[in-house]
Amino acid sequence: MIRLGAAMVLALAACQPVPTQQSSSPVAPKQVVAQQGQMGALLNSQRSAQGLGPLVEDAALSRSARAHAQDMVTNGYFANQGLNGSTFVQRARGTGYTCAAAENLAEGQRTEAAVVTAWMNSSGHRRNILLREATEFGIGRVDNMWVLVLGRGC
């Protein structure tokens, strides 16, 4: 099963499974091709195509993202809100990062290219990746559970 979830600071909504293919859409899905270990390059390619500046990986955001991915795998759930009620903003602050802006979740994709393709073909996830004010990102992956946290770098 492949699932996606997104959250933004201004609109924290419960994460619901989202199909990665929408057969009613006349637009063909975008394919992202890259080698494993290239999350920054994949994200920046999408941002550059829209005239946006690059993102740089932040270690604190990646620690926060990985911890949430691990918690979801360990406890068998899929949600932007942690089982303890935490938001992505609170989890990022817990690692010392104070300007988290958005979070994307995905489950089931086997490669970085596959997860970025799924996110870019989902309007909410795409919006998060293309946030004009985002300058940093953190990525966490445990098995095929993915968490991307975007930050403003304040």
The number of CA neighbours under 13 Å toward the Cβ of 122 is: 25
Number of residues that this document lists for the chain? 154
Kindly give, in sequence order, each residue whose CB lies less than 8 Å from that of residue 23, ignoring residues fewer than 6 positions away.
Answer: none
Residue 8, H or E segment: strand 3-8
Grade residue 16 by pLDDT with cuts at 50, 70 and 90: very low
Residue 132 Cα distances to 37, 101, 127, 145, angstroms: 24, 11, 9, 26
* Residue 137, beta-bridge partner list: 57, 150
Which one has a higher pLDDT value, 5 or 86?
86
Q: Of all residues in the chain, what percent carry a pLDDT higher than 90?
A: 74
Q: Residues 58-106: pLDDT tens digits?
A: 999 999 999 999 999 999 999 999 999 999 999 999 999 999 999 999 9
pLDDT on residue 8: 53
For the segment 101-133, what is each residue's pLDDT rounded down to a tens digit? 999 999 999 999 999 999 999 999 999 999 999
pLDDT of 5 reads 74
Percent of residues, the chain, with pLDDT higher than 70 = 79
- Three-state DSSP state, 70: helix
Residue 35 has pLDDT above 80, yes or no: no
